[in-house]
Structure 1
Amino acid sequence: MTLTAERTGLPTQFITETALSEQLKRCLNDARLPLDIRIAGGLIGLYGLPVVRLVELTTDRFERTGDDAYFTIERIPVLLPPKLALLIEEQIARLAVRSTLRPPQDGRPTYLLPKVPAYRPITAQRIVNKLRQHGLEVISARNTAMFEAVADLPPIVISDLFGVSATSAHRWARFAQDSWTDYLSTCSNDEARSSEGS
C-alpha cells in the first residue's frame, strides 16, 4: 500500500495489508516472541491502538463471558479473537502471581504491560523498542490498521474505540475515502489504457 497524506497530521507510513496480516499471525502464534510483545503487537495490529494508550491499559478492563472475552478500550468493550484473549489471560495470570509477592499499593490498578512493580506502566518508548527488536512494525502497522478500520466503521466509533478525537477520526475517514477514490481512478485509467492498446 502506497499512500501519501497531504493534510497536516495525517499518516505517511504504511505497510501492506499482507504484511500487517503476517505480523498479526506472528504475534498471535509465535511462542518464541515474549508474551508482552505478542499482546502489544496484536492490539496495535487489530485495533490500531497508539502505543501511548496501549501502555495505559489495566487488567481490570478484561472480562470473559462464557466463550467470549472482551477488553474495554476507552469506553467500548471490544470482542477479542480467541488467541489474543488467551494471551491476555496468560499475562494476567502471570501478573497475579507477581502481585502476591508485591501487592499493589493504595488500590492502584495492575497494568497489562507493567514495569515492576505492576502498578507502574512500562513506557511507550520501551514497548516501541521491544517491538522493533523483534522485527515488528509499530507506526506503519498502526496506520494500516486504522486505515482498514475506517473503511468499515463510522468515525464516531473510531473515535471511541481508538482513542482519537472526533475531528481526527473524521479526517482519517476522509483520507481513506480520498485514497480509495484515487486508487479506483488509477485502476480505471490503467484498464482504459489496456483496452486502447488491444
Structure 2
Amino acid sequence: MTDLLSADGASLAQPLQPLAAVLTGADNPYRVLQWLGRSPAAHLLGRLALDPEALNHKSLDTLPQRAATAYVRGLLVTAGILPPRDENLALLTNWVARTVAELPARHAHLIRPFAEWHIIRDARRRSARGRYTYAAHKGDCGNVLAAIDFLNWLDSQYLSLRRLQQPHLDTWATDRPTLRSRSIPFLRWSTARRLCPPGLSIEHPASQLPGHFQAEDEARNELLRCLNDTALPLDVRVAAALIRLYALPLTRIVELTEDHISRDQEHTYLAVNQHPFVLPPKLARLIDDQLQHGPRHSNTARRRYLLPGHSPGRPRNPLGLADTLRHHGLPARAARNTAMMDALVDLPPMVITDLLGIHPKTAERWATLAGGNWSDYLAVRRAAPQG
C-alpha cells in the first residue's frame, strides 16, 4: 500500500494515511493484494496519489466517469479525504454540463436554463429532503434528452418555438410515444416563459394498469424461499422478501441504510417513509446478517447501505439488482404488484399512500384495479374528531 500511495515508496503523506487504513483494514489481506495488482481503480488511485492536493471532487469529475473512478471516489469519501455528497445529484449536474456543451448554440441557450433552473433546481430540493434517487436522476436526464429531441424535431420541420401550434404538438406526440410524457416539462417551462404561444398542451398518455401478478400459492412459496432457502445469496433473500412483504420498489429498497433499522426489547423495525414496520423475526435476522457480513468497504463507510454497491458508500444499482433477482427465479414486478393488491385488502389506499410514499393518484388506480372504494374511508376521516 505504501508503494502505491507514496511517491518515494517509503512514507505516506499525512492526508493519505486514513485511506491506507481503510484499504489495509480487511480481514483477508490476499484480496487486497489481488486488488492492488489487478484493479484499474488501484492503478488510478496510484496516479492520483502523486498529487494529494488534487484529490477533490472537482478533479475527479474531469476524469472519464467509469467504474474505477466511482470506486476511487467512494474510497476517498469513506476515508474522510473527500466530503460526502449526493452522488445522484452530482451525476445529473455533471451530465447536464457535458451534454449542453455539445449542443449547437441555438439549442444550448434554451436547454441550459431549462436544465439548470428547472430540472436541477428541483433535484436539489429533493436531494435536500433525502429523496433524490438514482431512478430520479435517470428520469431527469430523460426529460432533458426529450427536450433536445423536441428542438431537433422542430428544426427538421422548419419550425421554432414561437411558431409552434397545437397540430404540430399532436404530430410530435403521435410520432414519438416514448418521449411524449418526457417532453411535457419542457413544454410547460417554455409556455410559462412565453417562449411559445399560450394554450399548447400535450396530454399525458392514459395510465396502464399493471398486468403481471402471481397466484397466491406462487407468492407464498417465493416468500418462504426468501426466508428459509440458505442456498440463495443473502442480499437476494433480503431484497426479495421486502418486495413480497411490503410492496417496496427496488429503487426504495436500495436506498435503505442501517439508520432505517431500529430495535426494542421485543421487535425489530424497518422505517419506510418515516413509518416503522415490525419485521418478522426471520427477516430481521437476515437483515442483521446482511449488515454484518456485507461487502468489506461497507463496514467502514459513513453511510452503511443495507444493499451496498460495488463502489464504497454507494447502494446497489436497482436495475442490476432486478436482473439478479430474476436470475434466481424471484422477479420483482409481479411480486410487488401482488403484494400491493394484498395490502389493499387490509388497508385503505389513502393509508397505503401515506405508509409507502406513493402518489395518491397511483393509489387510486390501484384501488380501482382491486375493486375497492375509499370514499367511505375518507368520509370517516372527515367525521372523526381532530386531535
Report the TM-score when normalising by structure 1: 0.78
Q: After the TM superposition, list the runs of 4 or more consecutive aligned residues in structure 1 that deviate by more than 6 angstroms.
A: none
Verify the 8 A CA contact 1:70 1:77 in the aligned structure 2.
Answer: yes
Q: Which residue of 2 aligns with 1:40?
A: 239
Structure with greater Cα Rg: 2
Q: Which has the higher contact order (CA 8 A, sep 6+)?
A: 1
Check whether the contact 1:45–1:141 (CA below 8 A) recurs between aligned residues.
yes
CA distance in 1 between partners of 2:229 and 2:355 (Å): 27
Separation (CA, whole Å) in 1 of partners of 2:360 and 2:271 = 19
> Contact 1:111 / 1:118 at 8 angstroms: preserved in 2?
no
- The answer for the alignment partner of 2:208 in structure 1 is 9
**Shift of residue 97 of structure 1?**
6.1
**Superposition pairs of residues 1-198 of structure 1, within 5 angstroms:** 8-95=207-294, 98-100=297-299, 103-104=300-301, 107=302, 109-177=303-371
Cα distance in 2 between the residues matched to 1:148 and 1:177: 12
Tell me, what secondary structure is at the counterpart of 1:156? helix
Quote how far apart the aligned CAs of 1:87 are.
0.3
Shift of 1:157: 2.0
Between the aligned partners of 1:162 and 1:64, the Cα distance in structure 2 is 20
Tell me, what secondary structure is at the counterpart of 2:286? helix
Structure 2: how far apart are the matches of 1:114 and 1:147? 29
SS in 2 for 1:31: coil
In 2, distance between residues paired with 1:111 and 1:143?
25
Q: Unmatched 5+ residue regions in structure 1? A: 1-6, 179-198
Q: In structure 2, the residue corresponding to 1:129 is in which secondary structure?
A: helix
Query: Would the aligned equivalents of 2:273 and 2:357 in 1 still touch at CA under 8 Å?
Result: yes
3-state SS of the aligned residue for 1:113?
coil
Query: CA–CA distance in 1 between the matches of 2:241 and 2:357?
Result: 17
Structure 2 residue identity aligned to 1:172: W
Contact 2:298–2:305 (CA under 8 A) maintained in structure 1: no
Mapped to 2, the partners of 1:61 and 1:28 lie a distance apart of 20
- Size of the alignment, in residue pairs? 167
Secondary structure of the equivalent of 1:149? helix
Cα offsets for 1:8-62 (capped at 9, x unmatched): 2321110111111000000000000000000001000001111111111111100
In structure 2, relative to structure 1, the CA distance for the partners of 1:28 and 1:175 (3 Å cut) is: same
Deviations 1:59-116 (CA, angstroms, capped at 9, x unpaired): 110011112010001121011111000000111112496445xx22xx4x21111113
1:152 and 1:32 map into 2 onto residues whose CA distance is 33
Aligned residue for 1:151, secondary structure, equals: helix
Q: Taking structure 2 as the reference length, what is the TM-score of the superposition?
A: 0.41
Decide whether the 8 Å contact of 2:353 with 2:360 is kept in 1.
yes
Note the residue ranges of structure 2 that are not aligned, 5 or more in a row.
1-205, 373-387
SS in 1 for 2:325: helix
Identity of aligned residues (%): 44
Contact 1:95 1:118 in 2 (8 A): no
Helix, strand or coil for the counterpart of 2:289?
Answer: helix
Matched residue type, 1:139: R
